[in-house]
Copies of this chain bind each other. A is one copy, B any other.
Amino acid sequence: MPFVDNIGFLMSRASGQLVRATNAALGSEGLRVRQYSVLSVVCESGGSSQRELAAVLGLDPSQVVALVDDLDAAGLVERRPSPADRRTKVVVPTEAGIAAGERAAGRAAKALEETLAPLTDEERATLRTLLARVTFATR
């Protein structure tokens, strides 16, 4: 089988396409996909420690620091001291962050839709399930 049909090559390429399309779509919000992923989780949970963010997103804690710094500087999240543990900082979305997160989600969804245009809804569901099973071991 030709190298370009290798599943690893295809996945890397499809992922790159999707990241590029999503970054382009999020540009108007001043976000990139990694910052957006942190904002999304924080909006969803209403507040997460950086350790939780690292675990959920599969990132190193030091990367989370930088991403939260970016979102903080943009006024989209705040670090609040945890009442239970003074080592922990709870990252919570600001009002602006919630609004930006919602707009960004719409734009990201559109970029995803366009990138996955060749697939039917059923095929997208299949793809999601297969990818989820591949990544499950590292979650």
How many copies of this protein are present in the complex? 2
A37 close to B (CB within 8 Å): yes
- Nearest neighbor of A44 in chain B, beta-carbon distance: B3
Give the interface residue-count category, chain A: 35 or more
Instruction: Please pick, from B12, B40, B137, B138, the residue contacting A15 in the complex, using a CB distance under 8 A.
Output: B12
- Nearest neighbor of A7 in chain B, beta-carbon distance: B128
User: Judging by beta carbons under 8 Å apart, are A10 and B135 in contact?
Assistant: yes
Instruction: Please pick, from B8, B119, B126, the residue contacting A18 in the complex, using a CB distance under 8 A.
Output: B8
User: Judging by beta carbons under 8 Å apart, are B15 and A132 in contact?
Assistant: no
A50 close to B (CB within 8 Å): no
Interface residues of A (CB under 8 A from B): 2-19, 22, 33, 37, 40-41, 44, 56-58, 108, 112, 115-116, 118-119, 123-124, 126-128, 130-139
